[in-house]
Amino acid sequence: MTQAQPSLEFIPPAYNPLVWQAAKRILPLWLGYNHDIVDVKIDNSTELIRLYEEFQQGKTRFMLAFRHPAVTDPPCIAQLFWNQLPQIAKQQDVKLKSPVHLHFIYDRGIPLWAGDKVGWIISKLGSTPIRRGALDRVGLRSIRDLFVNGDFPMAAAPEGATNGHNEVVSPIEPGIAQFGFWCQEDLIKVGREEAVAIAPLGIRYFYKTAPWQYLEQLLSNLEVDSGFKQTPAETMGLTNGITLSPSQEADLYGRMYALAEYLLSLMEEFYSKFYQQKISTSEGELSSRLPALLDAALKVAEQSFAVKPNGNISDRCRRVEQAAWNRIYREDLDKLTELAPAVRGLADLVASEAELRLWHMRLVETFVSVTGHYVAEKYTVERLADTVLLLWKMVAKLKGESNIKPPYLGKKWVQLTAMPSLQIADYWEQYQNNRRQAVSDMTQDLQQSLEQSILE
């Protein structure tokens, strides 16, 4: 973004049944063609069917709280609800009225990088946006209204953003629990007696065939593109779908770890040399060095926007993003086209500088959940792929690429796991006495439920 833009307006949810019908038909093909996802499976479907039936009967309002490892999570959940859950319900002698759908809560930034067409489709599917880095009163009012009066249940990702890990749940935000309590309050105010529930949903991706050969090739490409090696390494002779020997496992992991350490050293030097960030380079394990690097990168962005480094990494990222948006999407300038050329030039300069500083925050955002021992503690092809793809994402950023399709690693299937719902009624008395503690307790219970949902 090199030019100042008009202020970011709220995109009202405007469900259109014709758009939903078209999306419902296209979705399975789109998942397979664009994202190599060939199957979506659900464990404990009875829980979701019961909740949805009670919703349609006017007995329950609920919000689906789903894990968020990848950008394909909402489409996979839509595939389940639009095309599969009605058929599964029918097999269980439950008749769900069409359409079986959800009001998704999405980050207002998605249409900025995905495009206006995607923003239009999301709106016409009845989804509602929220700006995470600011007090978005309009967005919050829309969510509260849909939770109480919407034609469909709600759906949101309590982690707030994708983390690129199949088997790591990021610290979840308290907003989901608060929405539940607000919904209960709003129902009581108008004399309605529906129960309110939060429905945790786990999600994991698995490869149909273990892509060992593809992963080795991708690693080889990354080694060269990053400057770690001058020429591609000699092939290890791995074959997709063939279990690795212990020595092959060790060699492949060693190459990945060595590349990660090289990239870490490269970025430590970059931030020390060009941004005067004090980082103890090349000392200690990757797991201890990475947080120091992320902190330094985030400070570069924070200092440029005069944002104080308060809270956890995710909180800091959101505040930096909002500060950048304030400089790009100008609420203080009514008509950009009518500005004097010199004034417009200054506005464009501020916007382009803000976009450059956002690069540092995006880098941090990519690695916010990386621990340094994710693969070592449990060596699976999915965990290795998660990590290599994060390294690919980093190298792509360093190369100046953006919004590019991830490299092909083979066909995947998705496992969704519905966990027992959390009932607001079970926390209501506590909420009446101590609202903050009730929200905290329910958030912790939701965290534990989501973590349980991705265990073997």
Domain assignment of residue 383, yes or no: yes
Q: Are residues 104 and 192 in the same domain?
A: yes
CA 113 from centroid of its chain's CA atoms = 14
Q: Is the model more confident about 409 or about 402? A: 409
Of 213-222, 237-246, 252-261, 284-293, least confident by mean pLDDT is 284-293
Domain assignment of residue 407, yes or no: no
Q: Are residues 237 and 375 in the same domain?
A: yes
Q: What pLDDT sits at residue 407?
A: 95
Q: What pLDDT sits at residue 137?
A: 94
In the predicted model, what is the mean pLDDT of the chain? 94
Predicted confidence (pLDDT) at residue 406 exceeds the cutoff of 60: yes
Q: What pLDDT sits at residue 132?
A: 85
User: pLDDT, tens digit, for every residue of 260-276?
Assistant: 999 999 999 999 999 99
Q: Are residues 424 and 368 in the same domain?
A: no
Domain assignment of residue 302, yes or no: yes
Q: What pLDDT sits at residue 141?
A: 97
What DSSP element (H or E) covers 396? helix 381-398
Q: What pLDDT sits at residue 103?
A: 98
Q: What pLDDT sits at residue 372?
A: 82
pLDDT bin (cut points 50, 70, 90) of residue 204 is: very high
Cα separation, 49 vs 89, in Å, equals 6
User: pLDDT, tens digit, for every residue of 145-179?
Assistant: 999 999 999 999 999 889 999 999 999 999 999 99
Q: Are residues 157 and 230 in the same domain?
A: no
User: pLDDT, tens digit, for every residue of 69-89?
Assistant: 999 999 999 999 999 999 999
Domain assignment of residue 406, yes or no: no
Cα Dmax for the chain: 71
Amino acid sitting at position 15? Y
CB 215 within 8 A of CB 382: no
Q: What pLDDT sits at residue 280?
A: 66
Across 250-263, average pLDDT: 95
Q: What pLDDT sits at residue 368?
A: 83
Q: Are residues 70 and 39 in the same domain?
A: yes
Write phi, then psi, for 99 (nearest 5 degrees): -85, 145
Coil, strand, or helix at residue 129?
Answer: strand
Domain assignment of residue 403, yes or no: no
Domain at 25, CATH number: 3.40.1130.10
* 403 CB-near residues (< 8 Å, 6+ apart): 113
Q: What pLDDT sits at residue 278?
A: 85
Across 113-118, average pLDDT: 87
Coil, strand, or helix at residue 235?
Answer: coil
Across 432-452, average pLDDT: 97
CB 76 within 8 A of CB 31: yes
Cα separation, 293 vs 270, in Å, equals 10
Total number of domains in the chain: 2
Domain range for residue 102? 5-208+412-453
Q: Are residues 430 and 416 in the same domain?
A: yes
Q: What pLDDT sits at residue 370?
A: 87
Catalogue the E-assigned strands of 118-183.
Answer: 128-130, 154-156
DSSP 327-378: HHEETT-S-GGGS-HHHHHHHHHHHHHHHHHHHHHHHHHHTTT--S-TTTTS
Predicted confidence (pLDDT) at residue 284 exceeds the cutoff of 80: no
Cα separation, 191 vs 143, in Å, equals 20
Q: Is the model more confident about 76 or about 9? A: 76
Q: What pLDDT sits at residue 274?
A: 95
